[in-house]
Amino acid sequence: MARAFVLVLDSVGIGGAPDAARYGDAGADTIGHIAEACARGAADRDGVRAGSLMLPNLVRLGLGEACRLATGRVPPGLAADAPPIGGFGCATETSRGKDTPSGHWEIAGCPVTFDWGYFPNTVQSFPPDLIAALCGEAHIPGILGDRHASGTEIIATLGEEHIRSGKPICYTSADSVFQIAAHEEAFGLARLYEVCRVARRLVDTLTIGRVIARPFTGTSASDFVRTGNRKDFAVPPPGPTILDAAAAADRDVITIGKIGDIFAHRGTGREWPATGNAALFDRTLDGADALADGGLLFANFIDFDSLYGHRRDVAGYAAALEAFDRRLPALLARLRTDDLVVITADHGCDPTWPGTDHTREQVPVLTYGPAPAPLGALPTYAAIAALVIKHIDVCPLTDPHA
Ligand SMILES: O=P(O)(O)O[C@H]1O[C@H](CO)[C@@H](O)[C@H]1O
Ligand SMILES: [Mn+2]
Ligand SMILES: [Mn+2]
């Protein structure tokens, strides 16, 4: 029986979203701008990478042509010298919100049709009564932060005061998130998760998508570093997904990395966490060996977004793309005859764009499998769910609560 693999390269957008202006992102193009920076020698890093963006395996699957479909041009270095061996297309997000859950849920067949709650980008972002309730119920002496921020910058600024005072650092972004940073040893990881659980309950009425635990270690501003113990407390998708469909059909499901958290652990089967793209790829290869016939593997590669996109690190982002590309042949070599691989993304995070937030973009949809068919410009990410449902031959989605 046929198997399906969905690989989400977190934030690897290709520009050209028709509604980008509504998000302040008209012209944002994650892959396009990285490729341009590489081509003009502006993304060289000693001992890491240099020159044009080299993604021969993704290009062979049709990445350059997917970019052409989204924006009308092939980014420098991504032109193919032969017709792509994969099906390729681009997809437009219909969900309201350029965040990770919205993107993943739409890929999985469940677009977000309601408006998320957001915290304003003001001097104090959080409602005072929310913070009062959090302090009272989670037994914390107060909070630091209370603003929009980059997660790495705010722990450098407030980390030492956090250790002295015992007050966790709470911050948000253009996404529907309430993030809590705390020192793993000084504050304690279990305690941080507990504070997040209280926060999760309190922000439910505000329609906030995720509470995110952001543990870090280190002794001072110069060496604070976030750890792999990040944990997302998400609300479940509002309707059925391909994970629910596969679970209902009793299929083997393996979810790699953040997928379990993103889907609030519903239908997520065997959850295999890993820290860093290299380890995530290792687990994906393990999954290619372990996934039963008729099964679904769903993986998220977070580093593109978290380590490079939000950090506006163009050279780092380019190097991460090239590292992923180098490993792709190992996955393709492990596939069985009927397997389908879909490589896509959940939103953009253009590292050349102002600010540190995601960018509204189209995403690539690259397929590799038995009969690759050109996909064209897909009007919704949910077209990917339809491909998967058809390929592994499970019943169309049904309400998991019915
Ligand atoms: O700056 P950091 O902490 O990485 O935060 C980023 O991570 C959040 C979740 O993906 C986004 O909303 C963005 O704010
Ligand atoms: Mn994401
Ligand atoms: Mn992100």
The per-residue pLDDT for range 232-271, each reduced to its tens digit, is 999 999 999 999 999 999 999 999 999 999 999 999 999 9
> According to the model, what pLDDT value does residue 130 have?
98
Domain span at residue 191 reads 128-233
> According to the model, what pLDDT value does residue 359 have?
98
- Does any ligand 1 atom lie closer than 6 A to the CB of residue 151? yes
Q: What is the mean pLDDT of residues 323-339?
A: 97
Specify the ligand 1 atom closest to the Cα of 175.
Answer: 12
Identify the CATH number of the domain in which residue 282 sits: 3.40.720.10
Q: Please check whether residue 109 lies inside any domain of the structure.
A: yes
- Asked if the model's pLDDT at residue 371 lies above 80, the reply is no
- CA-CA distance, 312 to 157, in Å (whole number)? 18
The per-residue pLDDT for range 315-324, each reduced to its tens digit, is 999 999 999 9
Looking at the structure, do residues 219 and 289 belong to the same domain, yes or no? no
Q: Tokens in use for 33?
A: 């701008």
> According to the model, what pLDDT value does residue 207 have?
96
Domain termination site, one of 233, 264, 299: 233
The per-residue pLDDT for range 300-309, each reduced to its tens digit, is 999 999 999 9
Residue of minimum CA distance from atom 12 in ligand 1: 175
- Residue of 121, 175, 227, 259 best suited for mutating to test ligand 1, as the one with most atoms within 8 Å of CB: 175
- Does any ligand 1 atom lie closer than 6 A to the CB of residue 344? no
DSSP 121: S
- Does any ligand 1 atom lie closer than 6 A to the CB of residue 306? yes
The pLDDT-based confidence of 36 (bands split at 50, 70, 90) is very high
Residue type, 145: G
- Does any ligand 1 atom lie closer than 6 A to the CB of residue 175? yes
Nearest ligand to residue 301 Cα: 2
- Does any ligand 1 atom lie closer than 6 A to the CB of residue 68? no
Looking at the structure, do residues 258 and 337 belong to the same domain, yes or no? yes
Looking at the structure, do residues 249 and 375 belong to the same domain, yes or no? yes
Tell me the percentage of the chain whose pLDDT exceeds 90: 96
Looking at the structure, do residues 190 and 229 belong to the same domain, yes or no? yes
Looking at the structure, do residues 245 and 375 belong to the same domain, yes or no? yes
The per-residue pLDDT for range 285-295, each reduced to its tens digit, is 999 999 999 99
Looking at the structure, do residues 384 and 283 belong to the same domain, yes or no? yes
> According to the model, what pLDDT value does residue 399 have?
57
Looking at the structure, do residues 251 and 387 belong to the same domain, yes or no? yes
- Asked if the model's pLDDT at residue 340 lies above 80, the reply is yes
Q: Please check whether residue 119 lies inside any domain of the structure.
A: no
Nearest ligand to residue 210 Cα: 1
HSE at residue 282, side-chain half, CA atoms within 13 A, is: 7
> According to the model, what pLDDT value does residue 1 have?
85
> According to the model, what pLDDT value does residue 398 have?
61
Q: Do 90 and 362 contact (CB within 8 A), yes or no?
A: yes
Q: What is the mean pLDDT of residues 341-366?
A: 98
Specify the ligand 1 atom closest to the Cα of 212.
Answer: 9
Q: Write out the binding residues for Mn(2+).
A: 10, 305, 310, 346-347, 358
Domain termination site, one of 172, 199, 233: 233
Q: Do 253 and 108 contact (CB within 8 A), yes or no?
A: no
- Asked if the model's pLDDT at residue 68 lies above 80, the reply is yes
Q: Tokens in use for 84?
A: 């792509």
Q: What are phi and psi of 77, to 5 degrees?
A: 90, -10
- CA-CA distance, 262 to 27, in Å (whole number)? 28
Question: How far away, in angstroms, is 78 Cα from ligand 3 center?
Answer: 25
At residue 128's C-alpha, the angle toward residues 172 and 98, to 5°, is 25
Residue of minimum CA distance from atom 3 in ligand 1: 151
Identify the CATH number of the domain in which residue 178 sits: 3.30.70.1250
Q: Tokens in use for 132?
A: 């009062």
The pLDDT-based confidence of 368 (bands split at 50, 70, 90) is very high
Domain termination site, one of 180, 203, 233: 233
The chain-wide mean pLDDT, for the chain, equals 96
Q: Following DSSP, what letter does each residue of 21-78 receive, concatenated?
A: GGGT-TT--HHHHHHHHHHTTTT-BTTTB-SS---HHHHHHTHHHHHHHHHSSPPTT-
> According to the model, what pLDDT value does residue 373 have?
84
Q: Please check whether residue 362 lies inside any domain of the structure.
A: yes
Looking at the structure, do residues 245 and 377 belong to the same domain, yes or no? yes
Looking at the structure, do residues 83 and 167 belong to the same domain, yes or no? no
Q: Write out the binding residues.
A: 10, 305, 310, 346-347, 358
Question: How far away, in angstroms, is 165 Cα from ligand 2 center?
Answer: 32
- Does any ligand 1 atom lie closer than 6 A to the CB of residue 310? yes
E strands in 241-357: 253-256, 270-272, 296-301, 340-344
What is the complex's ipTM, to 2 decimals?
A: 0.97
* Closest C-alpha among 148, 182, 145 to residue 166: 182
Reported pTM = 0.95
Burial of 197 (0-12, 13-18, 19+ CB in 10 A): middle
Looking at the structure, do residues 242 and 105 belong to the same domain, yes or no? yes
Looking at the structure, do residues 269 and 350 belong to the same domain, yes or no? yes
Q: Which residues of 105-138 are buried (b: 16+ CB within 10 A; e: fewer)?
A: bbbbbbbbeeebebbeeeeebbeeebbeebbeeb
At residue 204's C-alpha, the angle toward residues 201 and 207, to 5°, is 160
Looking at the structure, do residues 247 and 371 belong to the same domain, yes or no? yes
Residue type, 54: M
> According to the model, what pLDDT value does residue 66 have?
98
Residue type, 154: I
Specify the ligand 1 atom closest to the Cα of 153.
Answer: 1
> According to the model, what pLDDT value does residue 370 have?
87
Number of domains within the chain: 2
> According to the model, what pLDDT value does residue 402 have?
43
Tell me the percentage of the chain whose pLDDT exceeds 70: 99
Contacts of 21 (CB under 8 A, 6+ apart): none
- CA-CA distance, 143 to 74, in Å (whole number)? 47
- CA-CA distance, 347 to 14, in Å (whole number)? 9
- Asked if the model's pLDDT at residue 137 lies above 70, the reply is yes
35 CA to centre of own chain: 20
Question: How far away, in angstroms, is 254 Cα from ligand 3 center?
Answer: 23
The per-residue pLDDT for range 164-181, each reduced to its tens digit, is 999 999 999 999 999 999
> According to the model, what pLDDT value does residue 243 have?
98
